[in-house]
Chains A and B, each alone.
Chain A
Amino acid sequence: MSDKDMADANMMPERGVSRRAFIKGVIAAGAAVSSTAYLFRAPIFGQPGAPGAVERLITLNVNGQMRRVDVMKQETLAMTLRYKLGLTGTKLGCDRSECGACTVLIDDVPHYSCSILTHSVRGRKVVTIEGLAGADGTLHPVQQGVVEEQGFQCAFCMPGFVMAAVGFLKVNPNPTRAELAHGVSGNLCRCQDYDKILTAFMRGAEILRRA
């Protein structure tokens, strides 16, 4: 760490776990080997004590695990997932809530993870594409439907699409094809194989209902 980093580190509020130890932990865990640099950024306008002031060191509930992570104030969930927690299944397609590739479930509701601050999901349940399949590798019914129908082409949009579908089916488990299309309409596919995507999801919904 550079002197500046040390200084920043010392500026950090110490909460339970020592920040330095925490960082070592993260690195050891390999969750963020790529971008530990992210960790060493200080807030530029400190306002300690103000109502609603946020700490950088937070705990996230991601795919059922409690993950401690150091998050910049302006950091989006997509960036935290991809660069701090090593969950690269969530894709960045536009970073402007215009394509849906970064869709994840927050408390079972589909959100664009590129357009929500990581600090906003503290104490909420985040599920990414990596969290869908069972520990033994059994696929989620929606994933199974995709596999059976050979859905998607380049599949860069797929994780977001699948999460949107899973979220929608929680609300409407027995949709018509049109309803399903409406439910996943917040996701863009540039291979534009939309017809097969719907077929795959309809199959997934069917498997889900049987399960």
Chain B
Amino acid sequence: MAEYKLIGKNYTTPDLVAKVTGKAKYAEDYRAEGMLFCKLLLSPMPHARVRNIDAREALAMPGVKAILTADELPPPPPPPAPPPGQPAVTQPPNENALTNEPVYQGEPILAVAAVDETTAADAIERIVLDLEPLPFAVDPLDSLRPNGPNARLEGNTYINRELKSLKWTEKDFSDATDGRLPMGEAPDTFSIGDLEAGFKQADLVLDETFLTQSTTHHPLETRTAMATWQNGKLHLYCSTQSTVQTVGNVARWVGIKPEDVVLISEFTGGGFGSKIPGSQTMAIPALLSKKTGQPVMMRISREEEHYIGRARAGVQARARVGFRKDGRITAIDVFTIQDSGPYGAQGDYRNVGIMASLAFQPMAMRWRGVTVLTNTPPRAPQRAPGGQQMNGIFDPIVSKAARKLGIDQVEIRRVNAPSGKATFGPPDPKTGKQGYVTSAFVREALDKGAELFGWEAKKQYSGKRRGSKARGIGVSVSPFNAGSTGFDGLLIIRPDGMLQVQSGVGNLGTHSVIDVTRVAAEMLDMPWDRCEVQFGNTSKHLPWTCVSAGSQTTHAMTRANYAAAMDAKKKLQEIAAKDLGGRAEDYDIGNQRVFRKGSPGSGLTFAQAARRAIQLGGVYDGHELPKDINAFTTRSATALAGTGLMGVARDNYPHDGNTLSHVVAFAEVEVDVETGALRIVEYATVADVGTVLHPHSLSGQVFGGSMLGIGHAISQRWLYDRQYGMPLAKRFHYNGPPTILDAPANVKFAALNIADPETPVGARGVGESPVGAGYAAILTALADALGDDVFRRTPVTPDLILASLELGHGSHDALTTNV
């Protein structure tokens, strides 16, 4: 592959020193003269109607400035466009910043602004709420039972995007025996090939039920926001994943034009899918600030973050899988129930089917699903939405089959691995043809991983015990969406010769906000110290950019920056041709000069070219813009016009297939069968993510994503009291994200670094795939150590292991969620 100077090289991101010295400003670090603080009044009930609010006593308190209720909000906007793989489901009533019909305990009902937080909190306590309790459900199966409660007055599920009430029959439930998931009416389904024929060819058929828990995203920075108004424009200091893509949402939530929003988010303390488009609640400080005429800071507490901070949709699944003697999967029939929270349906359950069809390339497959509303916090995509659940459901089955068929765990995955332009997902209704990926090198990844992990050597530990300590090894193949297309790149070669790249990517910790701009520098052969990246503030004139989510950024924005760089290069060549004669093609660029091919010393410096571009005007300095770029980019480019040679273009590059990345993970675990204590001895991953842009951040993304999955496997909980519909695990201490000591001690990583053929530079995204890989590598290793069927749900905590080994059953019945 091409020899790069910047791409694939480690470097220090320009924002790192600010971070490590504490100078970096996150939303809660901004201050403004006369800043007020607001606090939220959260619903104490899982579902209720507000009869009356008496805030007189609160408003009479010294220092209390204003209260904001749902009635003062603009009408609820439609939910934001979800990332690829997430079918957009829109239906009223949509979530809004505040509500008069809370549909989960902890939903904000009103907000109070006061001179300080203590006063605001005291004021909240003085408010008298009159609530009418309404029926509620916190467990999907409860809601599906005959006469079961509905989470919403309008119904409990979506059928053709309509909110409807769906109940299963007693028979549906009684048919399901020994802990198997009942399978009643499922409104959603897709099929690939002839299922029956598939199962006919099978030598072994497994029928397993598995529960994956919902989990709060809990980024370390809560969704705090500070708002102030200056000459009619809202200046919002917030915590969001996507700088540019958040503007439109904020405008809708606050009820103003996007042009009137200045969004500042230079640093974001993580998101994992919970802050893709910002948060409805950002409207609260914005509107309170408008109402009081003073800046308003809304500091969101950790407990509030549990409520309004989004969560992954738990999926209960039952899968029948047919295997041939050689391990080839002939058929998959999977049934999924998704806990969707109280608002829109998530795509997770559907992704379970789609990703299974890719990871295991079944000859035939059927996916069925029902998404059930519950009175629990709203769901949102969380790293690998549905992909992670898929791995948890299927990898243990595949490993179990391997044991039954006497095949090696890695081998059975190699046999079924997607390769090249592997097909997957539901066939197109019109053509009947399935989609396919741009490229997949899973076998190569498995081979490299097996070698890195020392699989052959470790096989001797498989299922072995020494004293009370059982060892097991496991492996997982995890695919997920890894890129979109069609966004804009924008850069300026300044008269001082510097390259200024405008990045609309959010700075949420993936480093992609900077990493993707290195492509522009690379293509223009600019030394990195001559480059400057503008980001994190829409008043800096940023281009139309993808949401920083769904692993889209690396793919989408390397393409966009590549396009902008190519546009700049073309303009450099044209300017050179204009001034020095000849045709543009006769010129080349390098070493910050545009020169006649063959004589690098000739031509113009970039600085000179930039000055010429300003003189020439028109397309060269941004006074004339391409027609196909987004209006947002047009606004930004227009504002920057005349400051230098402008490279601006939309990514129109073709790509044949869907862009997905694959990560394979290997794990070795040690379980003390007397105590259920678990230790992850070793963990190794190999990433098939195309060209490596930035090794440090790639390895970090893969391991961090893996840990998110590992947390789901061993510790992260979602607990509800069913009597009152109240969450019990609201804070870190109770919901238990893994600590540094729960992480594997010995970690290995490698990337295939095989360029994706369908995109310039060949880089794909990576954020999602590692999650399912980490999750299932641990689960398969646990099953290898303890035996199959020891657990049918996650997290696999000591109580689950002990109850299963010593009492012959789990701590909780097989189907109850939220325990």
Contacts and interface: CB of A to CB of B under 8 A. Distances in A.
Interface in B7-61: 10-13, 16-17, 19-26, 28-29, 31-33, 35, 37
Interface in B697-742: 697, 699-701, 703-704, 707-708, 711, 731-733, 737-741
Nearest to A156: B269
Given A34-B31, A146-B20, A181-B740, A190 B116 contact: no
Interface string A167-211: 000000000001001101101111111111110000000000000
Interface stretch (B451-459, B505-513, B562-570): B505-513
A108 interface: no
A84 to B, nearest CB: 11
Given A95-B301, A128-B22, A143-B20, A153 B511 contact: yes
Contact of A89 (B11, B21, B508): B21
Contact of A191 (B28, B270, B732, B743): B270
Interface stretch (B168-176, B217-225, B251-259): B217-225
B268 interface: yes
B22 A87 contact: yes
A159 interface: yes
Contacts, number: 189
Nearest to B709: A192
Contacts of A129: 20-22
Q: A37, A143, A148, A192 — which one has the most chain B CB atoms within 10 A of its CB?
A: A192
Contacts of A92: 28, 299
B220 A147 contact: no
A152 B19 contact: yes
Nearest to B740: A194
B272 interface: yes
A101 interface: yes
B740 A139 contact: no
A31 to B, nearest CB: 10
A93 B740 contact: no
A147 B11 CA distance: 9
B151 to A, nearest CB: 28
A35 B116 contact: yes
Nearest to A160: B220
Contacts of B20: 129, 139, 143, 146-147, 152, 155, 158, 162
A30 to B, nearest CB: 9
Contacts of B19: 152, 155, 158
Contacts of A148: 12
B167 to A, nearest CB: 39
B63 interface: yes
B267 A155 contact: yes
A170 B96 CA distance: 50
A86 B31 contact: yes
A101 B220 CA distance: 8
A33 interface: yes
A86 B30 CA distance: 10
A98 interface: yes
A198 B700 CA distance: 12
Nearest to B25: A88
Contacts of A130: 21-23
A62 interface: no
B232 interface: no
B740 A185 contact: yes
A72 interface: yes
A20 interface: no
Nearest to A178: B745
B22 A88 contact: yes
A159 B28 CA distance: 15
A90 B23 CA distance: 10
A129 B24 CA distance: 11
Given A154-B268, A156-B270, A194-B740, A139 B696 contact: no
Contact of B118 (A72, A178, A189): A72
B580 interface: no
B197 interface: no
A134 to B, nearest CB: 11
A186 to B, nearest CB: 9
B677 interface: no
Interface in A119-137: 128-130, 132-133
A159 B220 contact: no
Q: A35, A129, A181, A187 — which one has the most chain B CB atoms within 10 A of its CB?
A: A35
A52 B220 CA distance: 37
Interface string B742-778: 0101010000000000000000000000000000000
Interface in A49-104: 72, 74, 82, 86-96, 98-99, 101
A194 B743 contact: yes
B19 to A, nearest CB: 4
A50 B269 CA distance: 44
Given A89-B21, A94-B731, A149-B696, A188 B301 contact: no
B115 interface: yes
A192 B741 contact: no
A24 interface: no
Contacts of A35: 31, 35, 37, 116
Contact of B22 (A93, A159, A197): A159
B467 interface: no
B302 interface: yes
Nearest to A180: B740
Contacts of A99: 220, 302, 732
Contacts of A194: 703, 707, 740, 743
A40 B711 CA distance: 45
B35 A34 contact: yes
Interface string A11-36: 00000000000000000000001110
Nearest to A177: B745
A2 B508 CA distance: 42
| A-B pairs, 4 with minimum CB distance | A89-B22, A154-B509, A156-B269, A192-B707
17 contacts: A35-B116, A82-B28, A99-B220, A150-B11, A150-B13, A152-B20, A153-B697, A154-B221, A155-B16, A156-B26, A185-B741, A188-B220, A188-B737, A190-B220, A191-B704, A193-B703, A194-B707
Interface of A: 2, 4, 33-35, 37-38, 40-41, 72, 74, 82, 86-96, 98-99, 101, 128-130, 132-133, 139, 143, 146-150, 152-159, 162, 178, 181-182, 184-185, 187-198
Given A88-B29, A89-B23, A194-B703, 20 more contacts: A88-B25, A93-B220, A95-B301, A95-B302, A96-B733, A98-B731, A129-B22, A139-B17, A139-B20, A147-B12, A147-B17, A149-B696, A150-B511, A152-B509, A154-B269, A185-B741, A190-B270, A190-B272, A192-B707, A192-B737
